[in-house]
Amino acid sequence: MLVAFLIVFLLYAVYPMLRFSIEDPGRQGRYASVFAVAAGAFVPLNFAIVRSAESLTHPQVFSTTGSGMPGEMLATFLVSMVAMALLYATLWKLELTAKHASDQLRRLRRRAERRAADPLVPRPGGGASAGSSRAGAPTLSGAAYAAPRGGD
């Protein structure tokens, strides 16, 4: 049984190496798909091997009749399952927060690039860049040209 699992595991571990070792895209796709189908055929075979050798393996821990675990072992198992679920939720939340921050940064960069390209957008420190270079010329107030912008 472990050997059958090892064969399936090695087949799927070798797949990426086969997939990216062939230069020609046509041959690469054809060989990889044939290999994936052949490796996928071993999955039901592995399942059948495990079910047929049930008398040679460990007893089923969870079944329809109840748990075969002692109380301390069941408590440890359940605490471990809750800890793994919390770890998953934490890592998922961290990933979503990172993606949100990356999206916000991308939006802010686009906004900064647009403002740098637009001469009528107010600059920090007072006026707009248009009309402020000549002495005695009226400077344009940023509020006069700040049009409402949508999308950001």
pLDDT of residue 132: 47
Amino acid letter for position 96: L
Between 1 and 114, name the one with better pLDDT: 114
pLDDT at position 126 over 50:
yes
pLDDT at position 74 over 50:
yes
CA distance 135 to 138: 9
pLDDT at position 123 over 70:
no
pLDDT digits (tens, 9 = 90+) for 17-33: 888 888 888 888 899 89
CA distance 110 to 115: 9
- Rounded mean pLDDT, 84-103: 95
pTM, 2 dp: 0.40
pLDDT at position 79 over 70:
yes
pLDDT digits (tens, 9 = 90+) for 27-72: 888 998 998 898 888 888 888 887 787 777 766 666 656 667 787 8
76 band by pLDDT with thresholds 50, 70 and 90: very high
**CB within 8 A of 126, min separation 6: which ones?**
139, 142
- Rounded mean pLDDT, 79-94: 96
Nearest Cα to Cα of residue 143 among 128, 124, 130, 129: 128
